[in-house]
Chains A and B, each alone.
Chain A
Amino acid sequence: MTDASTSTASTSTHTVPTAALPPSDSDVPPGTEDRRPTVRPRGRQLRAKVGSVLKHAGLIAFGFVMLYPLLWMVASSFKPNALIFREPGLIPTDIDLSNYTDGWNALLHPFSHYLINSAIVVLGSVLGNLISCSLAAYAFARLEFKGKRLWFAVMLMSIMLPIHVVIVPQYVLFSQLEWINTFLPLIVPKLLATDAFFIFLMVQFFRGIPRELDEAATLDGASHLRIYLQLMLPLSMPALATTAIFTFIWTWNDFFSQLIFLTRPEMYTVPIALRTFVDSTGNSSWGSLFAMSIVSLIPVFIAFLFGQKYLVKGIATTGIK
């Protein structure tokens, strides 16, 4: 067993029916290839190598297809505004950084202002979703209570209505609470687990954790709160990481509710700021739009790079086997 399991499930380790488990002899992640250390004959090895090269070539080619639009956007962000549509090739004939400097300063506040606003909303939302959705998910996954199915259905129903018809009543509600033009309408709902997507996600993950673990803990006298905190959460890193990453990205990109609830320019967030570069009725600053889109992609990409480490820290690698 690795440290993770002993620290996370300290109350239960000794009661887990370890006898039933096969001995764990290595810390190697359970990729199926790694798990079968058979010696291969030479010819097979070569074939495997060729296969691996082919696989990488395929993955890279596919990656290019996936990335082409993004590459185009990067290329365009270095072109003068006038050339973006006239010379739409991938390689700019003329590198120009002014889109970045212009875009950064084009609006009433420097672009960093909007990045910070977005960061506040995003962090609040991530925190809110992680806590509130995992709490609710624990109840749905592990507790027996009256009307569980009904409440579960109600929860799912709440994400089946398009936002466009609830946003007006929501605006009325929030304006009576005097929350308009603050970040509260964007963050408080997340603290109150209104993102049913993540509740359902975590329910599915919690249900994948063998029940013996928490039953053992219960026999050991652990309360539900303790099981939730010390067993479920540490064992659900992939689900929590997924929730954090998605909440980050979706909130970062969410345009409509931020547009409606934030009315003052000093409260504007990145998606609203980006829209103001383009005006379908008059002049548009496409170059600035692309440049600032790239800039605003960076934090999300970093969040993803950072978060994906935790995606793979599943139960499989934490030693509960």
Chain B
Amino acid sequence: MSTTGNGLRTRRGKRLAGSAAGIAVMALTLAACGGGDSGIGGGGDDDPPAAAEECPCEIRFSWWGSDTRHESTQQIIDAFEAENPDITVVPDFTDWDGYWDKLATSVAAGDTPDVITQEERYISDYSTKSVLADLSALDIDTSKVDEGVLAGGQIEGAQYGIPTGINAYALVADPEIFADAGVDVPDDTTWTWEDYVTTANAISKGAGDGVWGAQDYGFNEAGLNVMARQRGESLFTPEGELGVSEQTIADFFQVSLDLMKGGGQPDAARTVEYQAAGPEGGLLGTNQGAMGVWWTNQLGALSDSSGHELELLRLPGESEGERTGMYYKPAMFYSISADTEYPESSAKFVDFLLNSEEAAKIMLTDRGLPANTEVRESILGDLSPTDQKVADFMADIEDEIVDTPPVPPHGSADLADIMERVNTEVLFERITPDEAAAQLIEEVNAAIAD
């Protein structure tokens, strides 16, 4: 409260006191910068909090999402509080973009939420700066989570996040448009990247004006990762370096260029526009395209806005390369602040989110298909037809999946923007796929350096 003290002095003071107090406040803020908990940069460089916890207590749980998730999460919180009357869970939610601004700011001020929802792009940043606690030291039962999936939240041996559920990056197809165009839906277990291009081009020709074969896939690094994995590479290595070859990147962009030239996908400007319009405003959502690559959890939004019965297919090339490339991506992670006053209560809550059937029945697939396989089984009967389709698809590919990609390194949050920029340049033919590959490697390396 020394700040208020300064304020009082200012008001009483004379003439120059004003600027002096100004400097004082500044100094105070600056002093806080260097400090621990209360100031800027109050990450988790302090000792772990004392073990003894006094409850009734209050923990804050932060997540991002839209109204449906907020509603269901509140129900889960209510259920948890009914079981644990001495723990109050305070919700803290916002949309995706606002979420990260808010989280970073509150961490900077030493006001970190106790239970934090994390994502692949940022979990490395937050864990390497010791904002997140190692969950393996806490009392959370992870025995029902598949080892490979669980590894998706491990960095240098510590469990910084527990996957909430899993998604896969898959090809969504609209059989009605295939039929309109007189093209057969291909066999996704055997099709190659070349088949993909010819199929899309054929649909565009067959379906007439204003309908295309496929929406461009080049904005999302997940597609690149799948292609890389099919060739035995990986977008990032476990050591946190870029693991994809220049050739693969160039080929990746070449596919979308071939599609555009062959008419299989719209011109560059339209492509960028559909990309910005999200699942609802994209080609599939507006019945203007037969194929698009999306995360499996987006099938619901796509189906709703298209009004068609959409199908999930494996990405092309799964049987073409030296191994399969598709993988389970942890949809999000549950993490706990390294600074929380109530690690036990927080752990109890995370355990509830992860392992309670009651919670799962409310959440269903909102945070991905539940990571806890037992819980997953228990909700299968409650799923909507679309979610059912996702669950079936995920089960189908389970045996084909070789491994989970390592957690992207610190700084990889920039990757999405870099992909978007480079792909746009390629589509507008301002750079060739080869130049794009070189540029991508250079920019990503700069982002993940240090």
Contacts and interface: CB of A to CB of B under 8 A. Distances in A.
Contacts of B425: none
B286 A85 contact: yes
Contacts of A279: 64-66, 69, 95-96
Contact of A272 (B65, B94, B109, B285): B94
A85 B91 contact: no
B111 A175 contact: yes
* Interface size bracket, B side: 35 or more
A84 B281 CA distance: 9
A84 B71 contact: no
A160 interface: no
B4 A275 contact: no
A282 B98 contact: no
B94 A171 contact: no
Nearest to B92: A263
Contacts of A107: 67, 70-71
Contacts of A198: none
B4 A283 contact: no
A264 interface: yes
B109 A108 contact: no
A4 to B, nearest CB: 37
A37 interface: no
Interface string B10-53: 00000000000000010001001000001110000000000000
Contacts of B67: 106-107, 276-277, 285, 288
Interface string A250-294: 000001100110011100000010011111111111101000000
A173 B101 CA distance: 17
A298 B102 CA distance: 29
Contact of A172 (B93, B109, B278, B298): B109
Contact of A282 (B38, B60, B301): B301
Interface in A146-203: 167-169, 171-173, 175-177, 180
Given A260-B101, A260-B102, A282-B301, A84 B111 contact: no
A8 interface: no
A98 interface: no
Interface string B56-90: 00001000111111110010000000000000001
A174 to B, nearest CB: 9
A288 B298 CA distance: 19
Nearest to A172: B109
Contacts, number: 133
A285 B93 contact: no
Interface residues of A, number: 39
A269 to B, nearest CB: 12
Nearest to B113: A263
A255 B111 CA distance: 20
Contact of A168 (B38, B60, B108): B108
B404 interface: no
B66 A282 contact: yes
B304 A82 contact: yes
A282 B65 contact: yes
A173 B3 contact: yes
Nearest to B65: A279
Contact of B29 (A85, A172, A275): A172
Contacts of A276: 65-67, 70, 93-95
Contact of B109 (A171, A278, A280): A171
B297 interface: yes
B1 interface: yes
A311 B297 CA distance: 52
Contacts of B70: 107-108, 265, 276
19 contacts: A82-B306, A86-B287, A107-B67, A108-B91, A169-B29, A169-B40, A171-B106, A256-B101, A265-B93, A276-B65, A276-B70, A278-B66, A279-B96, A280-B95, A281-B96, A282-B298, A282-B301, A285-B67, A285-B68
Interface of A: 81-82, 84-86, 106-108, 167-169, 171-173, 175-177, 180, 255-256, 259-260, 263-265, 272, 275-286, 288
Given A175-B111, A263-B92, 4 more contacts: A85-B286, A169-B40, A265-B93, A276-B95
